Amino acid sequence: MQVFFATQFVLSLPAGHRFPMAKYQLLRDALAAHVPEVRLEQALPASDGELALAHTPAYIRAIAQGTVAPQVLREIGFPWSEAMAERARRSVGATVSACRVALKEGVAANIAGGTHHAQADRGGGFCVFNDAAVAARLMQAEAGRARRSPLRVAVVDLDVHQGNGTASIFRSDDSVFTFSMHGQKNFPFRKEPGDLDIDLPDGCGDEDYLVALDRGLEELEARFTPQLLIYLAGADPHEGDRLGRLKLTWDGLEARDRRVFEWAWQRRLPLAFAMAGGYGHRIEDTVRAQLNTFRVAVQYWRRWQNLAR
Ligand SMILES: [Zn+2]
């Protein structure tokens, strides 16, 4: 199973910064050690033209040149540097590549990404560019002009925070369905309405979570027929997360992943996934949650490969 990374571009953050940058390298090491089916590949950066499918030229330029307004930079939460700009581009490139491969092989992944708080003209919440939005639009462009209607893409966002950026980018675009399930009282405090939003109360546990997810997937099914699914498999609904405020156990998280992969598999729907958030009290817990997602993914990737034979 092909997995794209941009971990060689590590941001050096000020001491005590809340973002666990080390998790990407740890996950990469864990995948290499424990999931032999994974083929790790370096991502190419997204170009200005590709980023412009979801972002304004002025914002792309400001990130490239380091002229972003201080307030926007504060909302992003990372200091600007050339490495920061390059990393953001590569992270989008990794999701783009994962989507391209998923359309051929059924399942593929980005080891980072899921930067769903980025809107067209500004970033926020540790997100610079919106990888899922750029990738969805680029896959539509690549699917070709021969089609009568654009490739239909569903974004299933199970990070604990609402995918406000993705919702706002696709607000008036019927070809991309945005489904976000998130903590009602969590960041972002002003939610952007997507196609389907499910708010969860603080402390929500496995059972209520999975019932809500089933309901969400049923509604998605009733309202939209996707041809590509982009899954944001945030680790932050886990009970050991500093920021999540939900109470999912390891089993609950695994059942969540399995629901999404099974739903896509039943429909023979190509699925690309990205990591999104994870802020475990113990960084090993975040890595473990994400590694578990890959273990489930590989099982479904195998089914696709058997199908191809
Ligand atoms: Zn999150």
Q: Which tens digit of pLDDT belongs to each residue from 170-211?
A: 999 999 999 999 999 999 999 999 999 999 999 999 999 999
What distance in angstroms lies between residue 89's CA and the mean position of ligand 1's atoms? 20
What distance in angstroms lies between residue 305's CA and the mean position of ligand 1's atoms? 32
What distance in angstroms lies between residue 117's CA and the mean position of ligand 1's atoms? 9
Spatial contact of 108 and 102, defined as CB atoms under 8 Å apart = yes
What distance in angstroms lies between residue 168's CA and the mean position of ligand 1's atoms? 17
What distance in angstroms lies between residue 162's CA and the mean position of ligand 1's atoms? 8
Give the residue among 115, 11, 131, 127 at the shortest CA–CA distance from 76. Answer: 127
What distance in angstroms lies between residue 160's CA and the mean position of ligand 1's atoms? 5
Distances in Å between the Cα of 8 and the Cα atoms of 65, 106, 239, 306 are 21, 27, 30, 33
Q: Which band of pLDDT confidence, cut at 50, 70 and 90, is reported for residue 252?
A: very high
What distance in angstroms lies between residue 309's CA and the mean position of ligand 1's atoms? 38
Q: Which tens digit of pLDDT belongs to each residue from 261-306?
A: 999 999 999 999 999 999 998 999 999 999 999 999 999 999 999 9
Whether this model's pTM surpasses 0.95:
yes
What distance in angstroms lies between residue 157's CA and the mean position of ligand 1's atoms? 10
What distance in angstroms lies between residue 155's CA and the mean position of ligand 1's atoms? 15
pLDDT of 16 over the 90 cut: no
What distance in angstroms lies between residue 237's CA and the mean position of ligand 1's atoms? 8
Q: What is the spatial distance between Cα 53 and Cα 31, in angstroms, rounded to a whole number?
A: 32
What distance in angstroms lies between residue 306's CA and the mean position of ligand 1's atoms? 34
Give the residue among 257, 267, 262 at the shortest CA–CA distance from 293. Answer: 257
Q: What is the spatial distance between Cα 22 and Cα 7, in angstroms, rounded to a whole number?
A: 9
What distance in angstroms lies between residue 175's CA and the mean position of ligand 1's atoms? 25
What radius of gyration do the chain's Cα atoms show? 18
What distance in angstroms lies between residue 275's CA and the mean position of ligand 1's atoms? 10
Task: Quote the mean pLDDT of the chain.
Answer: 94
What distance in angstroms lies between residue 235's CA and the mean position of ligand 1's atoms? 8
What distance in angstroms lies between residue 125's CA and the mean position of ligand 1's atoms? 9
Q: What is the spatial distance between Cα 138 and Cα 99, in angstroms, rounded to a whole number?
A: 9
Interval 149-172 mean pLDDT? 97
pLDDT of residue 224: 98
What distance in angstroms lies between residue 182's CA and the mean position of ligand 1's atoms? 9
pLDDT of residue 17: 80
What distance in angstroms lies between residue 218's CA and the mean position of ligand 1's atoms? 23
Q: Which band of pLDDT confidence, cut at 50, 70 and 90, is reported for residue 144?
A: confident
Helices of type H across the chain: 22-34, 48-51, 57-65, 70-76, 82-105, 131-143, 164-169, 206-223, 250-266, 283-308
Q: Which tens digit of pLDDT belongs to each residue from 27-38?
A: 999 999 999 999
2-11+18-308 adopts what CATH topology?
A: Arginase; Chain A (3.40.800)
What distance in angstroms lies between residue 80's CA and the mean position of ligand 1's atoms? 21
pLDDT of 69 over the 90 cut: yes
